[in-house]
Structure formats: structure tokens, C-alpha cells
């Protein structure tokens, strides 16, 4: 490190509620599609996460709360006893290395396909709006279909699935949970007026469109202490054909409501998920952090320099890295030393074996 980096607290411990993190660097949730039969986490997944246990906090890949919540092949679940057992092997291995790990709870909503649903059912969504795009199934990439709009009497069951998934996460030994309300999946679909055309108490006004996320959050808080719960949002990302006509008041209200509930952290994708940070949209991301009383976790396209600058200006408490963690299991040490970084092999991001997963080299011990 050069002298200007020495004063940065990026590499110093951070207190996230009752959790003491070794540093302020977070491993972002990254879908890797390497779960086993029954969407059960495997020993190879335990190796992958353990290699990255030097992160201050690991947020696991998104994990479906029910069979209906699945949108891609070989993504892990957190609803069956076998899945709980598979995840327990992961958490025990990470904890043995001194790491902290939370699970991201996921329902994809319309971003699925009948081939991935039990009995070939149509995916569900707030409204029957066809998403433009494709989804990865057992026979490759296929066009998505028009989803089925959820009936009002089905929504309590989905909330209950989130509550049970949170309970299961505790049984699996996680340090907390993150509710995935970003990137155009189910909770984001309810938030945005492009995908939510409902006329009942879950559609129309901002309060109504935010209702499901807040009810899910309340349900998860029945299973976990407030400081062990986070929510992920992506106000500007068009991922999975999502959009809103006026996102500023929507996400202002959502963040205020989440803050009032006292959750531990807010995880914000700044810009386009996996894409540019600057979208040209008039939405003011900087307005969100002052609205939230807990820990603000910033994500998307962060480099070492951007992370150091974020801490120098206190624009974020924690910084999440995604693709860099794929290729650099020892990313924290590489950032600390300002050492060269391995380049990720994008052809191995989704599915496969240990190649491009657990075989990236670490720095040698001599540095």
C-alpha cells in the first residue's frame, strides 16, 4: 500500500450489529449454477466459499425459498432438509476459517420457465406481463413465457415461504439473511410499475407496490434479530426487463420503511447490474444512504481505488465485489497489497465443475 492507503479503514474490522467483520470488503452474491441433485449445496461449493472466507462478509448466491422460486438450473434452495444440510457444511467450513456468511433469499417470479417449475407450471408474477429475454434451462437458453398473475390468496403463502426459508437459514448455521429485492425478480417485480399492473392492495400506489417487500421483511424479522437481516435493491438496473416510471419517490419510500424496521444493512446496486455505474438517469443514488439508519453496502463495478474513495468520503460503510471474487479467492489480500488480479473466465461462470470455480491461484506466501 502507498502512504495514502494506510489511513483507510477498508481493511479494518467493522461492527455490523452484533457481527464483527474482519474488514469492510463483502463478497457479493454470485449465481454459479453448481448445486447438486435436488438443488442441494455440494462439498465443492463449500470449498469455493471457504477459499473466500477472508472477506469481511460473504453473501451467498441467491437461493430459492421454494420450488416455485427457481429460475435457473442447478441453483441451490433453502427449503428442503437436504438443502439445509448441504448449506450447513458450507457455513461450518467458512466459520472454521473465521469467516462470516449470510444467505440471499430468492424468488425469481416471472424470470423462469415451465421446464424449471414443478409440473410444468407457468412462472408467477404480480401481473401477466411477458418478460423480454431468455432463461437457462437444461436444454440451454430458451425464451421466457408470459407468467401467471398471482391470486391475492396466494400471497400469504409466499410470505410464509420467506419466513420458513429464514428459519431454515438459521438451522443451516448462517450468520444472517439478505432478502433479494433487486434485479427484476419477484419482489422487484412488485415494486415497479412496468411489471406490476395490479389493482388490488398490492398494486397502484407506492405504498401498495412496496407492501409485499415490507411484509416479507416483517416475516423474516420474526425469525432473525434485526441486525442480522439485510435487503438488496437495484433502483436503476434494467436487469430482467424491469423498469419504473418514477423510481425516485418509490425507492425513497422503500428505504425509509426499511430503515424504520431497523434492519442491519441495505445493499444497493449502484447503476446497471454488471454494467455501467453511470446510467444518465436523473435518479439520485446519494439520497438513499442518509435515509437509512443502518449499514449501507455499495455494489457494482467497484475497483480498489473506488472502494478506497468511498471510504475516504464515507459514501458507503461496506463495499461488495462480485466478479473479482470469482477469480481471486484471496481478493482481500490482493487489494490490501495492491497486487495484480486474476482475470475471470466468463465461460465458466455458470455451471460446470471445479474449473473456473475453485482452481484460481492465490498469491504465493512470499508476496
For the entire predicted model, the pTM comes to 0.96
In angstroms, the CA 147 to CA 124 distance is: 5
Tell me if 315 is assigned to some domain.
no
**Environment class of residue 140 by beta-carbon count within 10 Å: exposed (0-12), middle (13-18) or buried (19+)?**
exposed
Q: Helix, strand or coil for residue 62?
A: strand
Is the pLDDT confidence value at 298 over 70? yes
Neighbours of 142 (CB within 10 A): 15
For 64-122, what is each residue's pLDDT tens digit? Answer: 999 999 999 999 999 999 999 999 999 999 999 999 999 999 999 999 999 999 999 99
Quick one: angle between helices 206-221 and 247-260, nearest 10? 30
Q: Is residue 97 part of a domain?
A: yes
- The rounded distance, in Å, linking the Cα atoms of 29 and 171 is 20
Residue 74 lies in a domain: yes
Among candidates 119, 115, 89, 112, which has minimal Cα distance to 101? Answer: 89
Residue 110 falls within a domain, yes or no? yes
- Supply φ then ψ for residue 166, to 5 degrees: -65, -40
> What mean pLDDT is predicted for residues 302-317?
97
| Backbone phi and psi for residue 293, each to the nearest 5 degrees, phi listed first | -80, -20
Predicted pLDDT at 36: 98
Q: Indicate whether 212 belongs to any domain.
A: yes
What gap in Å lies between CA 33 and CA 73, rounded to an integer? 6
Largest CA distance in the chain: 63
Per-residue pLDDT of 228-285, as tens digits, reads 999 999 999 999 999 999 999 999 999 999 999 999 999 999 977 776 677 767 889 9
Q: pLDDT-derived band of residue 296, with 50, 70 and 90 as boundaries?
A: very high
Task: Note the pLDDT of residue 98.
Answer: 98
Q: Quick one: average pLDDT of 32-38?
A: 98
User: How high is the pLDDT of residue 272?
Assistant: 72
Question: Quick one: what percent of the chain has pLDDT higher than 70?
Answer: 96
Nearest to 174 by CA among 262, 301, 60: 60
Look at the block and give the residue holding cell 470449498. 47
Calculate Rg over the CA atoms of the chain. Answer: 19
Quickly tell me which residue has 425459498 as its cell.
65
Query: Quick one: pLDDT at residue 276?
Result: 65
Domain boundaries, position 164: 12-264+283-295
pLDDT at 154 (0 to 100): 98
**pLDDT given for residue 271 in this prediction:** 73
Residue in 48, 72, 185, 202 annotated catalytic: 185
- Known catalytic residue: 350? no
* CB neighbour list of residue 52: distance below 8 Å, 6 or more residues apart: 27, 58, 99, 325, 329, 331
- Report the alpha-carbon distance of residue 217 to residue 230 in Å, rounded: 9
Place of cell 420457465: 113
User: CATH number for the domain including 259?
Assistant: 3.20.20.70
Rounded CA gap, 59 and 175, in Å?
10
Q: Is residue 344 part of a domain?
A: no
Please indicate, yes or no, if residue 242 is contained in any of the structural domains. yes
Contacts (Cβ under 8 Å, ≥6 apart) of 281: 236, 247
Backbone angles phi, psi at 274, to 5 degrees: 70, 10
Q: What is the pLDDT of residues 313-340, one digit of tens each?
A: 999 999 999 999 999 999 999 999 999 9
How many domains does the chain fold into? 1
- The SS3 of residue 75 is coil
Cβ distance 190 to 162 under 8 Å?
A: no
What is the separation, in whole angstroms, between the first and last Cα of the chain?
13
Residue 166 has pLDDT above 90, yes or no: yes
- Confidence (pLDDT) at 2: 47
Q: Measuring CA to CA, how many Å separate 211 from each of 51, 69, 207, 256, 257?
A: 39, 19, 6, 13, 10
Is 55 a member of any domain? yes
Amino acid at each position: 500500500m502507498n502512504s495514502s492507503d494506510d489511513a483507510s479503514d477498508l481493511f479494518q474490522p467493522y461492527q455490523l450489529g452484533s457481527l464483527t467483520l474482519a474488514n469492510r470488503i463483502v463478497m457479493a452474491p454470485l449465481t454459479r449454477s453448481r448445486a447438486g441433485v435436488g438443488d442441494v449445496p455440494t462439498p465443492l461449493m463449500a470449498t469455493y466459499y471457504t477459499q473466500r472466507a477472508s472477506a469481511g462478509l460473504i453473501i451467498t448466491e441467491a437461493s430459492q425459498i421454494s420450488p416455485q422460486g427457481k429460475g435457473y438450473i442447478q441453483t441451490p434452495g433453502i427449503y428442503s432438509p437436504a438443502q439445509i444440510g448441504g448449506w450447513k457444511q458450507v457455513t461450518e467450513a467458512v466459520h472454521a476459517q473465521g469467516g462470516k456468511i449470510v444467505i440471499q433469499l430468492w424468488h425469481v417470479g416471472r424470470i423462469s420457465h415451465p421446464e424449471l417449475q414443478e409440473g410444468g407450471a407457468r412462472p408467477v408474477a404480480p401481473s401477466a406481463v411477458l418478460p423480454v429475454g431468455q432463461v437457462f434451462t437444461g436444454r440451454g437458453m430458451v425464451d421466457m413465457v408470459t407468467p401467471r398473475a398471482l391470486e391475492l390468496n396466494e400471497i400469504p403463502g409466499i410470505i410464509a415461504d420467506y419466513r420458513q426459508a429464514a428459519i431454515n437459514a438459521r438451522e443451516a448455521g448462517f450468520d444472517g439473511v439478505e432478502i433479494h429485492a433487486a434485479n427484476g425478480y419477484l419482489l422487484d417485480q412488485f415494486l415497479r410499475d412496468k411489471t406490476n399492473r395490479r389493482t388490488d392492495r398490492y398494486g397502484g400506489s407506492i405504498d401498495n407496490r412496496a407492501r409485499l417487500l415490507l411484509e416479507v421483511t416483517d416475516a423474516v424479522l420474526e425469525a432473525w434479530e434485526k441486525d442480522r437481516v439485510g435487503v438488496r435493491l437495484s433502483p436503476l438496473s434494467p436487469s430482467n426487463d424491469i423498469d419504473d416510471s418514477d423510481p425516485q419517490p418509490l425507492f425513497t419510500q422503500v428505504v425509509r420503511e426499511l430503515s424504520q424496521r431497523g434492519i442491519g444493512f441495505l445493499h444497493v446496486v449502484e447503476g446497471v447490474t454488471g454494467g455501467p455505474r453511470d446510467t444518465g438517469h436523473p435518479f439520485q443514488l446519494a439520497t438513499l444512504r442518509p435515509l437509512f439508519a443502518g449499514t449501507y453496502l455499495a455494489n457494482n463495478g467497484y475497483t480498489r481505488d473506488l472502494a478506497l474513495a468511498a471510504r475516504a468520503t464515507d459514501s458507503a460503510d461496506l463495499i461488495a465485489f462480485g466478479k473479482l471474487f470469482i477469480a481471486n479467492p484471496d481478493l482481500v489480500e490482493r487489494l490490501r497489497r495492491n497486487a495484480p488480479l486474476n482475470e475471470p473466465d466468463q465461460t465458466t461462470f455458470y455451471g460446470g465443475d471445479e474449473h473456473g470455480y475453485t482452481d484460481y491461484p492465490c498469491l504465493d506466501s512470499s508476496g
